């Protein structure tokens, strides 16, 4: 007596499930750049800040997440509820709209962090305009958030898009400053080590201002 196979799948359902699986695995191919690895590769500098920063410290606890010799250390100012570090870029970011969306699987801003602050501590990144001092909301284009998941060890945080603030006057192609907030809206004074800040690609002002090439110009080159 023959028995029917229990592995019979309706072809339409099988194709649909394969499509969903592929969709879940595919993320948009967006160029990303490391802004500072504290080993000599640097595309930003450190401007106004509320706490104390040292960008030449020795890695306090190398592990598989971060084996770098050097990193940055920041001691938060407990007297400033929204203590922050403003980091102007050497140029502008490419259009950040692929990052500033809830749709699909947007690419993530990333940063390696080591702290003994409590697990679940909020870290926030604002992308904005340095000419407006990255002021909130007008000088801020978009806001991203991550929470620590360990204490006393390195981890790589991925920052999730939170919002484009109501009242923002900074377009997605007008970002030239990153603002970093450790445990915003608190009176803590924890110490944070951070490394390998990574996000949307940095382009020079000339690259952004260059006019699109006209068809007749292309023809001249081909002659």
pLDDT tens readout for residues 47-78: 999 999 999 999 999 999 999 999 999 999 99
**Tens digit of each residue's pLDDT (9 = 90 or more) over 102-127:** 999 999 999 999 999 999 999 999 99
Higher pLDDT, 74 or 28: 74
Q: What is the predicted pLDDT for the residue at 125?
A: 98
Q: What is the predicted pLDDT for the residue at 40?
A: 94
Task: Report the pLDDT averaged over residues 189-194.
Answer: 98
- pLDDT level of residue 191 (50, 70, 90 thresholds): very high
Domains contained in the chain, CATH given: 30-205 (2.60.120.430)
Length of the chain equals: 223
Distances, alpha carbon 28 to alpha carbons 17, 108, 124, 159, in Å: 20, 11, 23, 16
Distances, alpha carbon 196 to alpha carbons 47, 78, 113, 142, 158, in Å: 18, 25, 9, 20, 12
Q: Is 215 helix (H, G, I), strand (E, B) or coil?
A: helix
Residue 208 has pLDDT above 90, yes or no: no
Residue 156 has pLDDT above 60, yes or no: yes
Q: What is the predicted pLDDT for the residue at 145?
A: 98
Report d(CA 164, CA 81) in Å as an integer: 21
The gap from C-alpha 11 to its chain's centroid, in whole angstroms, comes to 41
Task: Report the pLDDT averaged over residues 86-113.
Answer: 97
Q: What is the predicted pLDDT for the residue at 31?
A: 79
Residue 210 has pLDDT above 80, yes or no: no
Task: Report the pLDDT averaged over residues 118-142.
Answer: 97
């Amino acid at each position: 007596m023959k028995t029917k196979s229990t592995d019979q799948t309706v072809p339409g359902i099988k194709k649909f499930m394969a499509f969903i699986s592929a969709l879940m695995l595919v993320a948009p191919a967006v160029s990303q750049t490391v802004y500072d690895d504290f080993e000599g590769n640097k595309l930003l500098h450190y401007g106004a800040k509320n706490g104390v920063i040292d960008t030449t410290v020795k890695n306090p606890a190398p592990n598989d997440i971060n084996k770098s010799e050097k990193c940055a250390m920041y001691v938060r100012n407990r007297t400033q509820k929204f203590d922050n570090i403003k980091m102007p870029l050497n140029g502008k970011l490419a259009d950040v709209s692929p990052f500033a969306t809830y749709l699909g699987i947007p690419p993530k801003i990333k940063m390696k962090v080591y702290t003994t602050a409590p697990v679940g501590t909020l870290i926030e990144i604002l992308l904005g305009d340095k000419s407006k001092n990255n002021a909130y909301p007008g000088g801020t284009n978009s806001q991203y958030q991550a929470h620590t998941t360990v204490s006393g060890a390195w981890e790589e945080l991925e920052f999730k898009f939170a919002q484009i603030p109501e009242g923002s006057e900074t377009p997605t192609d007008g970002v030239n400053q990153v603002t970093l907030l450790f445990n915003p809206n608190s009176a803590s004074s924890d110490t944070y080590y951070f490394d390998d800040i990574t996000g949307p690609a940095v382009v020079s002002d000339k690259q952004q201002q260059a006019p699109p090439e006209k068809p007749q110009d292309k023809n001249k080159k081909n002659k």
